[in-house]
Amino acid sequence: MNVTLSVDARILAEARRIAAVRGTTLNQIIRDYLQDLARLDDVEATVGQLEQLWSEDTGRSQGAWSREELHERP
């Protein structure tokens, strides 16, 4: 998909210079950045879901285990 952006000429020139130094294109740098940004949102959403689950659970098992259950071998 093509996207049109408005960027200051100095910033664009510096970004192109950095891309050339890295041996890549400005287009690839922008794609990589957007991909990382989307991945970060996924991570933050997952962390939020885990925090919600942890807040709902006490982390304790139901009832006490017997000595035999603790030492049971499969």
Question: pLDDT for 15-70, tens place per residue?
Answer: 999 999 999 999 999 999 998 888 878 888 888 888 888 787 766 667 787 888 88
Q: State the alpha helices, DSSP H only, in 1-74.
A: 9-22, 26-56, 67-70
Which sequence spans correspond to the domains of the chain? Answer: 1-56
Question: What pLDDT does residue 65 have?
Answer: 78
pLDDT digits (tens, 9 = 90+) for 1-29: 888 999 999 999 999 999 999 999 999 99
